[in-house]
Amino acid sequence: MVASPLLADLRAVLGDDAVLTDPDLLRMHERDEADLCASGTPLVVVRPHGTDEVVGVVRAAARYGVPVVPQGARTGLAGAANAVDGAIVLSTVAMDRILEIDPVGRIAVVQPGVVNATLAGAVRREGLYYPPDPGSWESSTIGGNVSTNAGGMCCVKYGVTTEYVLGLEVVLASGEVLRTGRRTAKGVAGYDLTRLFVGSEGTLGVITEVTVALRPAPEASLTLVAVYNSTAEAGVAVAEIAAKGLTPSLLELLDRTHLAAIEAYQPMGLRTDAQALLLAAVDTGSRAAEDLARIAEVCEAAGADEVYAATDAAEAAALLQARRLAHPAMEKFAADAYPGGNGGLIIDDVAVPRGSLAALLDGVARIAEECDVPIGVVGHAGDGNMHPNIVVDRADPASLDRGRRAFDEIMRLGLELGGTCTGEHGVGLLKRDWLAREIGPVGVRVHQAIKAALDPEGLFNPGKVL
Ligand X SMILES: Cc1cc2nc3c(=O)[nH]c(=O)nc-3n(C[C@H](O)[C@H](O)[C@H](O)COP(=O)(O)OP(=O)(O)OC[C@H]3O[C@@H](n4cnc5c(N)ncnc54)[C@H](O)[C@@H]3O)c2cc1C
CA distance 376 to 371: 14
Query: What is the rounded distance in angstroms from the CA atom of residue 391 to the CA atom of residue 399?
Result: 9
Number of H helices and E strands in the chain, helices first, is: 15, 19
Instruction: Return the closest-CA partner of residue 390 out of 378, 278, 272, 432.
Output: 378
Which of the 8 DSSP states describes residue 79? S
Shortest Cβ 208–ligand X spacing (Å)? 7
CA atoms within a 13 Å half-sphere pointing along the CA-CB vector of 114:
27
3 state DSSP class of 89? strand
Binding mask 249-268 for ligand X (x = CB under 6 A): --------------------
8 A C-beta contact, residue 215 and residue 128: yes
The Cα–Cα gap between 377 and 135 comes to: 15
Q: Is residue 384 a contact residue for ligand X (CB under 6 A)?
A: no
Instruction: Report, in Å, the least distance between residue 148 CB and ligand X.
Output: 4
The runs of H, that is alpha helices, within 154-204 are 155-158, 193-197
Min dist CB 10 to ligand X, Å, is 18
Contact status: 424 vs ligand X (CB under 6 A): yes
Q: How far is CA 119 from the centre of its chain?
A: 17
Of 9, 33, 252, 348, the one binding ligand X (CB under 6 A) is 33
Please identify, using beta-carbon distances, which residue of 166 and 296 lies nearer to ligand X.
166
Question: Taking contact as CB under 6 A, which single stretch among the options 60-68, 129-137, 369-377, 444-452 is the one that binds ligand X?
Answer: 129-137
Residue 144 found at the interface with ligand X (CB under 6 A): yes
Q: Which is nearer to ligand X, 143 or 403 (CB)?
A: 143
H or E segment to which residue 58 belongs: helix 51-64
Q: Is 151 in the site for ligand X (CB under 6 A)?
A: yes
Distance of CA 353 to the CA centre of its chain: 19
- For residue 143, the minimal CB distance to ligand X (Å) is 3
Q: Does 379 bind ligand X (CB under 6 A)?
A: no
- Contact flag: residue 48 with ligand X (CB under 6 A): no
Q: Does 420 bind ligand X (CB under 6 A)?
A: no
283 contacts ligand X (rule: CB under 6 A): no
Alpha carbon 459 to chain centroid, angstroms: 24
Q: Which range binds ligand X by CB under 6 A, 10-18, 141-149, 411-419, 449-457?
A: 141-149
The angle, 0 to 180 degrees and rounded to 10, between the axes of the packed helices 397-416 and 357-371 is: 160
Query: Of the ranges 40-48, 147-155, 240-248, 360-368, which one interacts with ligand X (CB under 6 A)?
Result: 147-155
Nearer residue to ligand X within complex by CB, 6 or 58 = 58
State CA 151 to chain mean position distance: 6
The answer to the question of residue 454 lying near ligand X (CB under 6 A) is no
Tallying the residues shown for the chain, one arrives at 466
Residue 318 to residues 120, 154, 311: CA-CA distances in angstroms?
Answer: 20, 16, 11
Binding ligand X (rule: CB under 6 A), the pick from 45, 60, 61, 150 is 150
Residue number with CB closer to ligand X (39 or 298): 39
Rule CB under 6 A: say whether 45 interacts with ligand X: no
CB 94 within 8 A of CB 48: yes
Q: What Rg value do the Cα atoms of the chain yield, rounded?
A: 22
Least spacing, CB of residue 133 vs ligand X, in Å: 7
- State how far the alpha carbon of 77 is from the alpha carbons of 126, 137, 143, 342, 426, in Å: 32, 14, 15, 19, 8
CA distance readout (Å), 365 to 146, 230, 291, 375, 394? 33, 10, 32, 8, 22
Residue number with the shortest CB distance to ligand X? 144
Q: Which stretch binds ligand X (CB under 6 A): 64-72, 232-240, 365-373, 393-401?
A: 64-72
Interaction between residue 112 and ligand X (CB under 6 A) = yes
Please identify which residue in 140, 221, 356, 422 interacts with ligand X, judged by CB under 6 A.
140
Under the binding rule (CB under 6 A), the answer on residue 80 touching ligand X is yes
Q: Say if residues 228 and 273 touch (Cβ distance below 8 Å).
A: no
Q: Does 194 bind ligand X (CB under 6 A)?
A: no
Which one of 48, 88, 148, 323 is in contact with ligand X (CB under 6 A)? 148
CB of residue 412 vs ligand X: minimum separation in angstroms? Answer: 22
Site string for ligand X, 293-332 (x = CB under 6 A): ----------------------------------x-----
Question: Who's near 449: CB < 8 A, 6+ residues apart?
Answer: none
Q: Residue numbers of the site for ligand X (CB under 6 A)?
A: 32-33, 69-77, 80-81, 92, 112, 134-136, 140-141, 143-145, 147-148, 150-152, 201-202, 206-207, 327, 424-425, 461
